[in-house]
Amino acid sequence: MANPSKRLDSNVPGNFYVDATCINCDTCRQLAPLSFEEIGGYSAVSCQPGDTDQVHHAYQALLACPVGSIGTEQSNKSRLQAAIGSFPLHLEDGVSYCGFNSEKSFGANSFFIDHPDGNWLIDSPRYIKHLVEAFEQRGGIAHIFLTHKDDVADADKYAAHFGAERIIHQADLEAAPAAERVIVGEEMVCIGSEFQVIPVPGHTAGSMALLYRGRFLFTGDHLWWDSHSRSLEAPTRLIWRKWTLMDSIRKLLDYRFEWVLAGHGDRVQRASGDMHAHLLALLKRREKRTGLR
């Protein structure tokens, strides 16, 4: 819970604030970009939410914050309950953002897919009663796809509760040694008719992306949308191998997708042709910067 005595001076006056426990994970800036921005290495309230929608988004950010750094001077219980009830937050075609990001994964996003052959959890949110009940109401969880070792969080707890199959790459198996399904090598693997597992080593040796219905690409920390530059971006630090990362970016040019749903960084939807052009532009920028091809 946020502490008003630790309220950052960078917050504008008003009801919502961020305190000094912020880890600058960008969760709040994704959910409520009109109210939060990065200032001095932390997130802060740059503009107090005005209308009903902005207040709702600010409460969503408060709940999703992995370390409870967002607080209010006066809480509105009805609006807080409405924000709780909004998670998992439906995006499109049965795909939802879970909310309640976990400190164990440095605030990484996680996602849920309603699917007739068994639901999927992509990476893990905090293990909390509200999400457990929400997933139960949707038919439980059959598969937990772990994009890489950093974002496992409470996956084991969800797997134990729902009897779910955990999927991870062999190179990152240390993070989930009891996983029921281990992906080996760098070739694409199909699971059913609508899921393609695409190994994309680079950030970690076992990083993977998941392509669903040829539209939704879940990328972990391999690829994300930068709302400021309005471009796709990939890691520049904390990289296992730079040249392998380049190869993995290049590999995705062979696929078509409309959504990028990242662990860190903004999610985005664009026409598949536009997405391909953005990916090609990213690759060209990296080749120019590194000299690697």
Longest dimension (CA), the chain: 55
Structure tokens at 69: 């750094």
Q: How confident is the model at residue 242 (pLDDT cuts 50, 70, 90)?
A: confident
**Alpha carbons 286 and 48: distance in angstroms, whole number:** 37
Topology classification of domain 4-84: Alpha-Beta Plaits (3.30.70)
Q: Coil, strand or helix: which one is 122?
A: strand
**% pLDDT > 90, the chain:** 95
Looking at residue 60, what DSSP letter applies? H
Topology classification of domain 87-290: Metallo-beta-lactamase; Chain A (3.60.15)
What would the pLDDT profile of 94-113 be if each residue is shown by its tens digit?
999 999 999 999 999 999 99
Q: How confident is the model at residue 177 (pLDDT cuts 50, 70, 90)?
A: very high
**Alpha carbons 167 and 125: distance in angstroms, whole number:** 16
pLDDT on residue 222: 97
**In the chain, where the domains are located:** 4-84, 87-290
Comparing 156-160, 241-245, 254-258, which segment has the lowest mean pLDDT?
241-245
Does the pLDDT value for residue 290 go beyond 80? no
Helices 52-64 and 77-85, packing angle to 10 deg: 70
**Alpha carbons 89 and 67: distance in angstroms, whole number:** 20
**Alpha carbons 91 and 216: distance in angstroms, whole number:** 11
- Closest alpha carbon to 281 in 227, 219, 243, 232: 232
Q: What is the DSSP string of 157-221?
A: HHHHHHTPEEEEEGGGGGGSTT-SEEE-SSS-EEETTTEEEEE-TTSSTT-EEEEETTTEEEEET
Please check whether residue 183 is in contact with residue 197, taking contact to mean a CB–CB distance below 8 angstroms.
yes
- 82-119 as b/e: b if 16+ CB within 10 A: ebbebbbeebeebbbbbbbbbebbbbbbbbbbbbeeeb
pLDDT on residue 173: 98
What would the pLDDT profile of 55-65 be if each residue is shown by its tens digit?
999 999 999 99
**% pLDDT > 70, the chain:** 99
What would the pLDDT profile of 134-165 be if each residue is shown by its tens digit?
999 999 999 999 999 999 999 999 999 999 99
Contacts of 50 (CB under 8 A, 6+ apart): none
Torsion region of 6: left, alpha or beta (phi above 0 gives left; psi -120 to 50 gives alpha):
alpha
Comparing 1-5, 88-92, 208-212, which segment has the lowest mean pLDDT?
1-5
**Alpha carbons 219 and 208: distance in angstroms, whole number:** 7
Q: How confident is the model at residue 291 (pLDDT cuts 50, 70, 90)?
A: low
Predicted TM-score of the model (pTM): 0.96
pLDDT on residue 2: 96
Compute the Cα dihedral for 44, 49, 54, 59 and give only its sign. Answer: positive
Does the pLDDT value for residue 287 go beyond 90? no
